[in-house]
Amino acid sequence: MRRYYSTTLGKNRHVLVYTPPSYDRFRDPLPVLYLYHGFYDTLYSWVTEGRLAEILDNLLAQGKAVPMIVVVPDAHALPFEPTPVTNPQEFWGNIDRYGFWQKNQAAADEELFHDIIPFIQTHYNISDQPRERAIAGFSMGGLQSIETGIVHLGYFCWIGAFSPAVGSAALSDEFKNPLKDSNNALKDSNKINENLRLLEIVTGDDDHMTGPATTAFESQLRELNIQHVYTVVPGTHSMFAWRPALANFLQEIFKH
């Protein structure tokens, strides 16, 4: 765990950083993966339930992954915004998740580039090459990864979105109506395909929370001729789907 000062939010914040057993500050720079958690979760979710360190340690020991640094930010840049409860049975209680996500995405994106990345660049020996930078996440973090990765096209070459919360109400204006809006971030498929080495989307076959929206979003990507990998795995909206998705993604990135 490292503490940094967020100029974006005006307060101290924490980030978790994984370094491989072979890490040496004064050797060749390593590729870096920025890994986001989901709504209602914490930055510890990928470490405790997600078993990030165990998965990557084992893959490195088996020679199946490239040594890398993994940065796990707190994806909640903003506090939840309570709203009147219109349906007591609503799973999300009195949280306006869509209104929150749209504002939070912008704040998290700004904090990543203004505060987190500069902090990591200062304190860790990471590569400055786009082909050695990746971003990924699950649920809300999957949405964050798609939006940040494509808005900042050319900075990241690898995007992983596991059960991404890509419902139309949660998408930012830059990603809504990609088939109709000529200024949409997804509209220039050639530019996206030229800059991304991998856009991977994974969803569980029994994910009733984000599964339908993910399927619809993936259909739009196909219509727009945006190259991507779409995989349906056994599981619900849970780590039973995200752990193997992460393990597979870690074996693919930074290799070519």
> In the chain, how many domains are there?
1
Q: Phi first, then psi: what are they for 19, rounded to 5°? A: -120, 140
Q: What angle do CA 88, 94, 48 make, to 5 degrees?
A: 110
Its domain, for residue 81, covers: 2-252
Confidence of residue 216 (pLDDT cuts 50, 70, 90): very high
User: Where do we find the tokens 């080495």?
Assistant: 197
Digit-coded pLDDT (tens) for 8-50: 999 999 999 999 998 988 789 999 999 999 998 999 999 999 9
Digit-coded pLDDT (tens) for 153-210: 999 999 999 999 998 888 888 888 766 766 789 989 999 999 999 999 999 999 999 9
Mean pLDDT of all residues belonging to the chain:
91
CATH number of the domain within which 66 lies? 3.40.50.1820
